[in-house]
Amino acid sequence: MKAGHSPLLGDAPELDAIVDFLRGIGLKVVAGTVPVDAVLSAMTVQRGALVYDPAQPGRVGDLLHEAGHLAVTDPALRDTLSQVGDDPAEEMAAIAWSYAAAMAIGIPTATLFHAAYKGGPDYLVAAFAGGSFIGLPMLQYWRMAAHSGEKGPRFPAMRTWLRPPMTCRS
């Protein structure tokens, strides 16, 4: 989505609520210049911070997804991250995380999974609406979301928004 027909990220009515939410959970989020070679023209990750350019075309769904990558990154590596990885487990977890964040903020699923999202939103919108939460097992494994049968709120509620350090499990 370099140019395309996306509106300016800064024109999105949800932008302030998203930035406030992300900062509130402990992610570093700054408005700034995004390098021209970035995958997304309006946002990137630099030294553990989500950098967004409100003057560039972009979508808030992508901003939440990129934040999800930061949130599910091993905390020992988070502050050094300057690009999101291509680990399939973290990719799926970032999708689930972004859905949970959108629900917490009050952003519709169709805004999160927009028309240009990963080949089209229809499958993801239907899957999440039907309770098939792609990526949830990784959030559960990292103890960010409750397993079925455990006490506590059910997904999309989260135990913690940032991946905690892993401890040995028995």
**Hey, where are the domains in the chain?**
9-141
pLDDT of res. 1: 39
pTM metric for this prediction: 0.92
Amino acid 170: pLDDT: 46
Q: What is the pLDDT along the chain (170 residues), one digit of tens a residue?
A: 344 467 999 999 999 999 999 999 999 999 999 999 999 999 999 999 999 999 999 999 999 999 999 999 999 999 999 988 889 999 999 999 999 999 999 999 999 998 877 667 899 999 999 999 999 999 999 999 999 899 888 999 999 999 999 866 54
CA 12-88-59 angle, 5° bins: 10
Measure the CA–CA gap between 150 and 135, rounded to whole angstroms: 18
